[in-house]
Amino acid sequence: MGHRRRGERHRLPPGYLDEALLALDAALDYLQAHSAQFDVVHNHSLQGTPLRRAPELGIPMLSTLHTPVLPELVDAHQIISERGSSFVAVSSYTSSEWRGAGIRSTVLPNAVDQTRWLLGGGGDDLVWFGRIVAEKGAHLAIETARLLGRRIVLAGRVGDPAYAAEKVWPLLGRDVVYAGDLRHDELAALVGQSACALVTPTWQEPFGLIIVEALMTGTPVACFDAGGIREVISGLTGTHLAPMGDCIALAAGAQTLIDTTSADPGVRAGIRSLAVARYSLDARITQLEELYRRSAVQFQTDSMTASGEAA
């Protein structure tokens, strides 16, 4: 169930949201009618409907906070007074932001399937990938690449055509190439064949999943210090932080990373190894299953307490 930021709303056909909300309600109706068949509902929706209906489902609901604070979700949670709901956040930064709005959460960082992001051999070009929207700052990656005198390849879905038309497309040329919205295997291969990935958000990034994806291919990452990015890369090799918006500092950091990895091909394998150790699906699944178990136990305890008080 998608929340569309500014500039992406045009992609939704007329009537889409109304139909999607009806489908969401139907799914929740099914869960309520078959509650005995489920232990936990894991909610990734950015709409308030699941939270508002959580108390009536008869199933504990665990919701992941992927974004900056969304008033609709805060309002929905306040209405139900936390009955039936618990939360996880993708970073300590994101957890802190939501805590300020009255929602407490356990921190559970995102994970990446290491079997789909394989070690690459590197190359000469820079790479930037993600949604082409203003908050992801592709134009700043282009500026950084030109400071380095290196070609950069951009890849990703266009989420904001107006931004792309004004800030990105006019810069395309021999040194700036748009590869399109690639299939997963194509994207992983592109990233793995790059000298360095640039991550250039203009907003406070809740996590920065593309950082981990790039590192798992052995490609170093130079990124702006925004939101949860600092904690995501803490302790990992092949990374550099630059002040937000400082393309000169980002370029200098990227050059250092490129020099280090090109001098010793084994460095890329080390970059991948640490990223896999911290962000692989295997470790995260175990943690998630424990959260599911705790949610189910707590829900049963609260239900028994409520029944006793009613009696």
> What's the mean pLDDT in 13-24?
84
DSSP structure class, residue 173:
B
- 8 A C-beta contact, residue 287 and residue 224: no
The pLDDT assigned to 81 comes to: 61
- Angle among Cα 52, 55, 60 to the nearest 5 degrees reads 110
Instruction: Kindly tell me if the per-residue pLDDT of 10 is higher than 70.
Output: no
**Residue type at position 24:** L
Distance CA 188, CA 215 (A): 11
Distance CA(32)–CA(54), nearest Å, equals 9
> pTM for this one?
0.88
Mean pLDDT of 52-76: 93
Mean residue pLDDT across the chain = 92
Residue 179 DSSP one-character state: -
Q: Which phi and psi angles does 113 have, rounded to 5°?
A: -75, 105
Nearest of 106, 23, 146, 154 to residue 288 by alpha carbon: 106
* pLDDT score at 8: 43
* 194-241: pLDDT as tens digits: 999 999 999 999 999 999 999 999 999 999 999 999 999 999 999 999
> How does pLDDT run across 158-190, given as a tens digit for each residue?
999 999 999 999 999 999 999 999 999 999 999
Residue with tokens 């203003």: 134
Q: Are 257 and 197 in contact (CB under 8 A)?
A: no
Crossing angle for the helix pair 247-263 and 138-148, nearest 10 degrees? Answer: 60
Dig out the tokens for 144 from the structure.
Answer: 């950084």
88-92: average pLDDT: 97
Contact 180, 155 (CB under 8 A): yes
pLDDT of residue 20: 87
Q: What is the DSSP letter of 238?
A: S
Least confident of 14-23, 123-132, 228-237, 289-298: 14-23
Residues 6+ apart with CB under 8 A from 104: 87, 95, 98
Q: Give the C-alpha separation, 221 to 205, whole Å.
A: 15
What pLDDT was estimated at residue 6? 37
* 280-304 b/e (C-beta count within 10 Å ≥ 16 → b): beeebeeebeebeeebbeebeeeee
Q: Where are the alpha helices (DSSP H) in the chain?
A: 16-33, 49-57, 71-80, 92-99, 138-148, 161-163, 184-192, 209-216, 229-233, 247-263, 266-279, 281-310
pLDDT at 1: 33
pLDDT greater than 80 at residue 266: yes
Q: What is the pLDDT of residues 268-288, one digit of tens each?
A: 999 999 999 999 998 899 999
Q: What is the pLDDT of residue 84?
A: 73
Q: What is the C-alpha separation between 115 and 119, in angstroms, rounded? A: 10
Q: Is the pLDDT of residue 131 over 90?
A: yes
Higher pLDDT, 3 or 300: 300
Q: Please give the pLDDT value at position 3.
A: 35
Q: What is the reported pLDDT for 2?
A: 34
